[in-house]
Structures are given as structure tokens and as C-alpha cells.
Amino acid sequence: MKGIGANVAKKFLSRNNDVDGYWALGVLYRLCATHDVKTFTIDFITGASTPEANFSEDVAAPFREILYRQMRNNGFADWQLTAAFARVEFDQEPTSTELLYKRVWGDPFDCHIVLVDDLGAQRSCSVHGCCRMHDPDKEHRSTGARTLRGPFS
């Protein structure tokens, strides 16, 4: 199951994970800043998020499908996955290299993908990276946008 979590982390942080055509991670960073919090959590099974977002179900749905498909491909039943969520912690302490490249890379974050099975065993995968806060004035919207409602509408 830990490998499944690593696959989900890779896809969750990918530039192909978008909200209305904008990189989801940057949108989540902006959402957290708007609510004056540093952590965003999304439940892939229910689609609920903290802080609440009108687009959280749209973000969670493809990952729920990926999780269940990968569970089945690895010999697990859907019911064996009892919880699955991502927790992204923004505004982490930058390394000296991250400080040097802040203008290019953005701000550091930590992303934790947590999967819990029917026996209560918790498996997690953590990834450290950098991203910039969503700014529609400086970004181009992807032409392959999945949703029709904006992240802050």
C-alpha cells in the first residue's frame, strides 16, 4: 500500500493536477493564505477538505479512482481502504538552496499522503517540494481545464 501512496503523491503534485486549468498546488497554497492557515487537508474518499473549498470534490475524484484501481491491481478490495487523504503543509523552513532559488522555485512545502487499511494500519508517503501561490494575473490557464467553476468563485 505504501507504493500506492507514493504513486498518488507523484500524481497529486504533478502539474497535470489542476483546478480550473491552474496548477492545483498553487491554488491550494492561495486558498490557505486566504484563510490564514498553513495546512491544507483533503479526504480523497469523501472529497471534504480543510479549509473548505468549492472545488475539493473535483480535486479528490480522480485520486479516489486512481486509489481504488491501484488497490484492485495489487490484490486489495475497495473496502480494505478505510481512509485516504493528503495533507500539504505550506511555508516550511527553506534550505539554503531553496532560499537561493526562491524566485524561480517558490516556497517550500511538505506533502503527506496517508492511507489507512481495514485493520487500522496507516501507511504514508512524504514529499518535499516548492511551489508558488496561484496568481491568475501571472499564470496562463491550461486549455485542458477539467472544471467550469473557478477556485475562488
Q: Which pLDDT belongs to residue 20?
A: 83
- Is residue 139 in some structural domain? no
CA quadruple 130, 40, 4, 13: dihedral sign: negative
Total domains in the chain come to 1
- Is residue 17 in some structural domain? yes
- Is residue 140 in some structural domain? no
- Residue-range definition of the domain harbouring residue 117: 2-131
- Is residue 148 in some structural domain? no
Which pTM does this prediction carry? 0.83
Per-residue pLDDT tens over the stretch 5-61: 889 999 998 888 888 888 899 999 999 999 999 999 999 999 999 999 999 999 999
- Is residue 146 in some structural domain? no
Stronger pLDDT, 152 or 85, i.e. the higher one: 85
- Is residue 83 in some structural domain? yes
Q: Which pLDDT belongs to residue 144?
A: 62
- Is residue 118 in some structural domain? yes
Backbone angles phi, psi at 32, to 5 degrees: -60, -45
Q: pLDDT band at residue 105, thresholds of 50, 70 and 90?
A: low
Distance CA 115, CA 81 (A): 7
- Is residue 127 in some structural domain? yes
In the predicted structure, residue 73 carries a pLDDT above the cut 50: yes
Distance CA 11, CA 72 (A): 18
Kindly report the CA angle at 82 between 80 and 85, in degrees rounded to 5?
125
Cα–Cα distance list, 47 to 56, 62, 93, 94, 114 (Å): 6, 10, 29, 30, 15
